[in-house]
Chain A
């Protein structure tokens, strides 16, 4: 199964949920997905198109567009195609369905994205900060407008 037939199969199965599908090369594909149905899309990708490996999941902040992108990198053990799947969320209230029921290793990825960007994952089994101390929850330090950096210089450097 090559990249063209894979993207065609995906867009035929989910004509409303998957848009902006793109084939960048023989092994690189990209698509955007509606946040409401990301679990169904991921289940179809895993079970039918043999994308059995969620390489990583992370967020990107775009303050100009007032959007936070959640990006899924999907790989496979059977074929060489990699799919970059993006979901666009509102920056004011970023909420998306958790894909832990499909890819169990998304658990810690989603917890990290939650603590750093404030993306709220619905139906996540245990949504709490992964690394950051509990007092820093709500600061969302990797957002572009984060103001919490220490503004005093380390005195030994001056």
Chain B
């Protein structure tokens, strides 16, 4: 296999499997269940559960990643907010963009974001992720990540402290509680 192909992120074909293909699934035309969940107090209960179990993905991308890692360690004890580091994007609710996004890394980051199950949120952590930071107008990095991803919380700093990240999570919890977050597909 050519080495050039290995550097590219593998693309998998999306299979269209409808619900009619799955045995044991009944279809309905009404959206009673959806309305019941979204327009009653049930949504508040769901959001209460969601905001207290914000598992974030350990995706250390730059120097801020060190702060991200130490936030997940025992000293800051983020378990008391229900914030737990997870190693797989399929287990995670929050993706933390913790560093510069290079042109080479952006396809992989998009793929990770697509692997996360909804509802999911993004925290922009550090100056590089927000506006480019020291890599502002660099030939190899992307600026303005919020044009690419639906970012909920920005945490400025170079790097921000671990307490700042915890406050960012608290702000995200407030947004989820008041239903003003940009969490997708729920």
Contacts and interface: CB of A to CB of B under 8 A. Distances in A.
B132 interface: yes
Interface string B5-24: 00110000000000000000
Given A149-B137, A157-B131, A134 B4 contact: yes
A146 B137 CA distance: 13
Listed residue (A146, A152, A153, A156) with the most chain B CB atoms within 10 angstroms of its CB: A156
Interface residues of B, number: 17
Given A141-B139, A156-B144, A128 B4 contact: yes
Interface in B118-148: 130-132, 136-140, 143-144
A146 B140 CA distance: 13
Interface in B92-130: 102-104, 130
Contacts of A135: 103
Contacts of B102: 133
Nearest to A131: B104
A1 interface: no
B137 A132 contact: no
Interface residues of A, number: 20
A117 B139 CA distance: 14
Contacts of B103: 133, 135-136
A65 interface: no
Interface in A126-152: 126, 128, 131-136, 139, 141, 146, 148-150, 152
B4 A150 contact: no
B7 A156 contact: no
A141 B144 contact: no
State the majority secondary structure of interface residues on A.
loop
Interface in B1-53: 3-4, 7-8
A154 interface: yes
A43 B55 CA distance: 57
Given A156-B131, A157-B131, A132 B136 contact: no
A148 B138 CA distance: 9
A136 to B, nearest CB: 7
Nearest to B139: A141
Interface of A: 126, 128, 131-136, 139, 141, 146, 148-150, 152-157
18 contacts: A126-B3, A128-B3, A128-B4, A131-B104, A132-B104, A132-B140, A133-B104, A134-B7, A135-B103, A146-B139, A149-B137, A149-B138, A150-B137, A154-B132, A154-B136, A154-B143, A155-B131, A157-B131
